[in-house]
Every structure is written in structure tokens, then in C-alpha cells.
A = this chain, B = another copy of it.
Amino acid sequence: MTTSTASTSPGTGQSPEELFAEVCRQARSAARLASVEALLGWDEQTYLPPHGGGYRAEQAAALAELVHHARTDPAHGERIVRLADGPLGRSGPPEVAGTIRLLRRDFDKHARLPARLVGELAKTSVEAQQAWRAARAESSWGTFAPWLERMFALKREQAACQLPDRDPYDALMDDYEPDASWRAIATRFDGLRTALVGLVRDCTGAAAKPDATVLERRFPLEAQRRFVHEVAARIGFDFDRGRLDTTTHPFCTTVGPDDCRITTRWDERFLPTALYGVLHEAGHGLYEQGLPRDWFGLPPGEAASLGVHESQSRLWENLVGRSIAFWSWCFPLARQAFPEALADADAEHVQRALMAVKPSFIRVEADEVTYNLHVMLRFDLERAVVQGTLPVADLREAWNDRFERDFGLRPPSDAEGVLQDVHWAAGLIGYFPTYTVGNIFAAQLMHAAEGAMPGLDRDIAAGRFAGLLDWLRREVHAHGRLLGSERLVERATGGPVSEEWLVASLRRRYGAAHGL
């Protein structure tokens, strides 16, 4: 924008501070509409009557259009550019300058997406998900492949519009892990894969394997509800500012600064289903509840990335929730809740049962060790399609070959193979790697937290989680989106991001459980 444009724009009499306030007001107003969209999505998964889906799709589309409209208002964009070129953008306080920089980044990405493409992506996503559901039910790759072809084409177009100077896969990942580079991630993943393949071999070949049967007894659902609610509250999830409901697929969504909603599913015959669903989602929820409340709807009040988000859920789910320290505290609570099922068990018994490792076909049912192999497979395959080296038509064979190489098994059906996840149908391409990036961040953060708090294990064993949560609030949550994920983790841990902490953590914990 030139000065002459600025001088003819409305509001040029404003001081930079007034202009900043106005831009923030409009960004918060778009975020407010997006939060209503979040409520529509939550309600759809929890309480929508069986026949309510058709109109709900219309309501959601209307809100999405309003949000897109508010985010790409040209006058808003012009004000952001004026602000970025002015004193606050160039040398304002870090939070202000950072907010302006990120609002400009967001505006440019949104505005570069033609309205036609936004509409086609939304429509194709709904239709492809319907096609995926039907294809998965019949395990029929052939009927789904054309939809995937179309979705990948649209996503390549999106990448070319939004970030034309970047590698197309990096451009797509940018929606989930801003500024991420596939080369850097691939390097870390390669090191991790080598270590994991070895660890899986060692675990499955171990003489003394963990026995999970204690977790497969009868755990009455009413008692499970009270138990997991208590556990979530004790680790710090604030039920005055959030709630817990039931869905088929657990998730966490934020409907307002004091309204973070998590969900789980229940299995009377397998305690970990609900408990680890809740620990995972409550980990996401603690992050959301810990973001700077006064900046809600603006970058300093937003999560740094999906990788950082996943680091918080995995840290509570796996690094805290599967530890012997955690079960020292949790077991008496569990025995009180399930006196029959756990009559002859103890903390060590339950904790060891949670460490079973077994290659399996379905990602969302995988153990902590093999899980990352599932992710890396998807990362390599979707990247090859986006970069044009793998035709969608060959995706099924490529999946099955790669699965056999990594897991020693060939999927018996497409439903247990290439058709198992909704992500690609929904247009979430470049999303998968954030799961393993989150595991890498989590292990590195936990290592740093243990270094900073030598008594951490004792605290956890005593049910004192506030020290760890405070450390995460200070080192991770308080920074919102201002630092970027890699820089955030490096600052918190004092070293470069590396997969070595995850490898060491898995080796140590799973080695011990398997007597290696």
C-alpha cells in the first residue's frame, strides 16, 4: 500500500494504536463467528437428533461463508498492511508486532484462496467423506479412488494459490504446522523409523511380554464416568470452563475462552478406551485453557501448531498417564471405582499391562510404539502424491507394500488399509505428520521438565500435577502462536528439536516393561 492509498482510505486519521484496536476488533469478530461454527460441529457429534444432519450442513456452510467473508474483507486487509508498514508493525512491543505479522500472514493466505476454490473444497470434502464411508463399508477402493483424485487435485491448486513459492506439500502442511519443511521432518522421521523397527522387533520377540488381560475385565460405565472425570479434574482440567461428553471419535474443541469441550468413548470391557481418550483430550484441553485468555481470538491466544497441540495431549496421555508414578497415585482411585475388576491387581500390574506392543492394521488402535510407523507411512505416501511422484491410482498397492515392509503384515482388506482414515477424504492432507511431530515435541518437553523439576516423579506419584502444568503453562501455553513451534520447543528445552528424546523415552519405558 502506498501512502497515497492510505491517505484516501477511511480511518487514516487514526493513531497506530487505534488502528491496531480496530484490526483486533475485526479479527476477534471473525473468531467469534468461527467459535459458533465450532459449537455447530460439537453439537453435531454429541446431541444432534438422528435426522438433523442435512440442515446442520446448511447451517455450518452458512457460518463458514460468514467467517471466510469476515477474514478476507479487503478493508480489513488494507488496515493490516498499513499497520504492518507502520511503527507498531516495524518496532512495536513483541506481542503487538507479532500479532500484526501473523494477522497479515493469515489474511494473505485466506485472501489468496479464490471463493470458487473455497466452495469446491468444502463441497468435495462433504461428498468425498460420504463416498469414503460407503467405500470403507464395502472395502471398495475402486469407488473411492476418483474422489481422492479430485481432492488431491484441489489441494494442489490450493497450495499453488496460497504459497506459490513453497514446495506444494510444505504449503499444505503450513495450515497445520506453520513454516514446517518436509525435508527436516523426513530426516527426523528416518532416524525414528530405524529405531522403532528395532524396538518393535525386540518387544515382540521378548520372552516376558506384558499381559493386558487385567484391563479387559468388567468396568461398569457409571463408575468409569466418575473415575475419568475425577482424573481429568485432578490433572488440572477446569470443569468450570469446560465439559466432557460422549462421541464415537474423541476430540477437543474450543467454543469460547471459558468453554473448552472434550469427548471420549466407552468400553465396559476395556478400561483404557475411555481413560486414555480422556487423558489425551484433556491434554489438548489443558493447552486451550492455558492460552492467554485476554488474547482469545488473536494469535497470542492461539495454539502454536497442531504438532505442539499434539505434544500436550501425548505428554499427558503417554508420558504421564502410562508411567509407574502416575499409577502409584491413580491405582487406589481406580480400585475404589472398580473394586471387583481390580481386586487382585496392583499399580505395577496395571501399568505394565498398558505397555503391550503389537503390530496391527488400524492406526487409531495402535500402541504407542507402532503408532508412529503408521503416521510415517501416510506422510511418505501423501507427500509422493502431492509432489507428483505417485499417482492416486497406485496408492493402494503402495500402501500395502509399504505396510508389509514396516509391519511384516499385509492388510487383508482396504478397510484395514488405505481406506481406514477419513483425513484425505476431508481434505486434511499434510495433517498426518503432526501426530508424530507432536510425539517428538512431547518427549523433548518432558525430558526438559524432568530436568527442571527433579522431584517430578514423586509429585506425580502423590497426585500433585500442578508443578508440571505450571511449567507447561509458562514454557508452552503462555506464548500462544507468537514463537512458532520449533522455536517454542527449542526455547523451552534449551536444544534443537530432535527425535532422539522420543527414541530414548520409548526404549527406556518399553524396554523395562519387556525385560529388555
Contact = CB atoms under 8 A, between A and B. Distances in A.
Contacts of A230: none
B48 A259 contact: yes
A274 B326 CA distance: 43
A59 B240 CA distance: 19
A39 B60 CA distance: 12
Contacts of A49: 239-243, 258-261
Contacts of A32: 58-59, 62
Nearest to A39: B43
Interface string A1-43: 0000000000000000000000000000100110110011001
Interface residues of A, number: 36
Interface in A281-327: 296
Contacts of A63: 36
Contacts of A39: 39-40, 43, 59
Contacts of A243: 47, 49
A252 to B, nearest CB: 14
A56 B52 CA distance: 23
A50 interface: yes
- Most B CB within 10 A of own CB, among A49, A56, A242, A296: A49
A473 B241 CA distance: 43
A257 B43 contact: no
Nearest to A242: B49
Contact of A40 (B36, B48, B52, B58): B36
Interface string A146-190: 000000000000000000000000000000000000000000000
A256 B36 contact: no
Contacts of A256: 52, 55-56, 59
Interface of A: 29, 32-33, 35-36, 39-40, 43, 47-52, 54-56, 58-59, 62-63, 66, 239-243, 245, 255-261, 296
